């Protein structure tokens, strides 16, 4: 087996026994929405009522906390972590008449690839523990580090658990490169926990209807279907089986779903991922949720979810997107926001930050 090595590579497997004692009261809910409303979804099989969970904090701590109760309980994990792009993503904030600049998230790493890989490695080990036996993990990255991430996934999940290398081709992104071809795709690596995983057939619309031979399987061989006069039968198809190259635009400020959060992913991308790898009522998790795209899509598709982000701007946007959806929806799962309250977080909550009317814009 080939293994990736980096400076000071450590694994947390040996520490996991001690970490199992991670305090079960480390994260506490500081806000919850819609308990006992008639719009609430009932949990499948009348089991204990479920509340979706949005964690504000470092996902390593959240993962250790979840090991208490969610070992092999998550049906689908999607993550869109920092890509080792060498940039810190800046935003402009407007709050009443005040304007100020801030950082949405950091992706500079002082150019230290080892610390970036170690950050992902620790988390991927824990993802493997909380993913259910029939679950799938989708890891989003780009040319900066996807070649390393694939080797890490091979090491932790096993190379036999590789399912797909999805190419997200975004044709509408400006590229300034003069000495290379425009970089117009991201990679989403898909791995499973076992060889028996949820995988739904997803069909996507064709640009134009297409005339196709009608075919059927006869004794394991695909044959053209003929009518009683021996003529081949045609049919008109409006959709096609989805393959592993997905042509979906980048989010644009003109979209009504646009939040202003840098690197917000397109909801259509998440719609495909969640439909492909989960069923209604399944539990989806995104530990780098940013503006909450995956969670809003999960909610719309009737999946339960756990989200996490370290940035208050992410929590602000995700909270509002979920509330907006719930206001208009017929049915939804109630949800709570949890954190480990330190002085800084208490100050932010007490200032009423999450209830304020603010607008966030990506700073170019």
Q: Which residues would be at the binding site for ligand SAM (CB under 6 A)?
A: 58-59, 80-82, 105, 261, 263-265, 288, 290-291, 293, 308-311, 314
Minimum CB separation of residue 61 from ligand SAM in Å reads 8
CB of 124 to ligand SAM, least distance (A): 13
Residue 5 CB contacts under 8 Å (≥ 6 apart), including other chains: none
Say if residue 212 is exposed, middle or buried (CB neighbours under 10 Å; 0-12, 13-18, 19+). exposed
- Give min distance, CB of 160 to ligand SAM, in A: 28
Cα–Cα distance measured from residue 275 to residue 297, given in angstroms and rounded to the nearest whole number: 10
Nearer to ligand SAM, 154 or 335 (CB): 335
Q: Which is nearer to ligand SAM, 119 or 242 (CB)?
A: 119
Closest distance between ligand SAM and the C-beta of residue 58, in Å?
5
**Residue 173 contacts residue 25 (beta carbons within 8 Å):** no
Closer to ligand SAM by Cβ: residue 60 or 167: 60
Q: Is the Cβ of residue 81 or residue 134 nearer to ligand SAM in the bound state?
A: 81
CA 185, chain centre distance (Å): 17
Q: Name the minimum Å distance from CB 79 to ligand SAM.
A: 8
Quick one: 34 or 109, whose CB is closer to ligand SAM?
109
Q: In this chain, which residue has its C-beta nearest to ligand SAM?
A: 290
DSSP class of residue 180 equals S
Q: How far is the CB of 261 from ligand SAM (least distance, A)?
A: 5
- For 165, the enclosing helix (H) or strand (E) is strand 162-169
Burial of 57 (0-12, 13-18, 19+ CB in 10 A): buried
CA distance 90 to 176: 20
**Is there a contact between 70 and 305 (Cβ–Cβ < 8 Å)?**
no
Toward ligand SAM, which CB reaches closer, 265 or 304? 265
For residues 275 and 26, is the Cβ–Cβ distance under 8 A? no
Q: How many CB atoms lie within 10 A of CB 153?
A: 22
Q: Give the nearer residue to ligand SAM in terms of CB position, either 103 or 184.
A: 103
Please identify, using beta-carbon distances, which residue of 187 and 314 lies nearer to ligand SAM: 314
SS3 content of the chain, % helix, strand, coil (to 5): 25, 30, 40
Strands (E), 69-123: 74-79, 87-95, 98-107
Q: What minimum distance in Å lies between the beta carbon of 361 and ligand SAM?
A: 14
84: its two tokens: 């080792």
Which residue, 134 or 264, is less far from ligand SAM as judged by CB?
264
Q: How far separated are the first and last CA of the chain, in Å rounded? A: 43
Backbone region of residue 351 per phi and psi (left: phi > 0; alpha: psi in -120 to 50; beta: other values)? alpha
Q: Measured from the CB of residue 313, what is the shortest distance to ligand SAM in angstroms?
A: 8
Minimum CB–partner distance for residue 290 and ligand SAM (Å): 2
Residue count of the chain: 364
| Residue closer to ligand SAM (CB basis): 260 or 334 | 260
What is the closest distance, in whole angstroms, from the C-beta atom of residue 293 to ligand SAM in the complex? 3
Q: Is the dihedral of CA 65, 119, 269, 154 positive or negative?
A: negative
């Amino acid at each position: 087996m080939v293994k990736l090595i980096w400076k000071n590579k450590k694994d947390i497997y040996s520490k996991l026994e001690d970490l199992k004692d991670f305090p079960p009261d480390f994260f506490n809910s500081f806000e919850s929405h819609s308990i006992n409303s008639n719009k609430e979804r009932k949990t499948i099989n009348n089991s204990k009522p479920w509340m979706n969970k949005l964690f504000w904090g470092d996902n390593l701590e959240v993962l250790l906390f979840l090991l208490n109760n969610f070992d092999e309980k998550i049906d689908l994990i999607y993550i869109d972590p920092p890509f080792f792009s060498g940039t810190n993503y800046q935003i402009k904030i407007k709050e009443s008449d005040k304007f100020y600049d801030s950082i949405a998230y950091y992706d500079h790493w002082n150019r230290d690839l080892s610390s970036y890989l170690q950050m992902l490695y620790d988390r991927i080990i824990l993802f493997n523990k909380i993913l259910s036996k029939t679950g799938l993990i989708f890891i989003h990255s780009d040319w900066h580090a996807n070649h390393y991430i694939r080797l890490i996934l091979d090491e932790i999940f096993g190379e036999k658990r590789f399912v797909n290398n999805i190419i997200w081709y975004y044709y509408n992104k400006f590229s300034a490169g003069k000495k290379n071809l425009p970089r117009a795709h991201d990679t989403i690596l898909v791995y499973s926990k076992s060889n028996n995983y949820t995988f739904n057939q997803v069909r996507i619309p064709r640009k134009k209807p297409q005339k196709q031979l009608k075919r059927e399987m006869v004794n394991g061989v695909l044959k053209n279907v003929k009518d009683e006069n021996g003529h081949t039968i045609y049919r008109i198809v409006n959709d096609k089986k989805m393959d592993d190259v997905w042509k979906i635009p980048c989010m644009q400020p003109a979209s009504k779903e646009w939040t202003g959060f840098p690197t917000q992913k397109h909801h259509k991308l998440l719609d495909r991922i969640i439909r492909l790898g989960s069923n209604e009522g399944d539990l989806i998790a995104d530990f780098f949720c940013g503006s909450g795209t995956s969670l809003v899509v999960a909610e719309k598709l009737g999946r339960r979810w756990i989200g996490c982000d370290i940035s208050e701007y992410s929590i602000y946007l995700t909270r509002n997107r979920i509330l907006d959806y719930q206001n208009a929806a017929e049915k939804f799962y109630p949800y709570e926001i949890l954190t480990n309250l330190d002085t800084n977080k208490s100050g932010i909550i007490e200032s009423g930050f999450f209830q304020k009317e603010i607008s966030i814009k990506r700073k170019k």
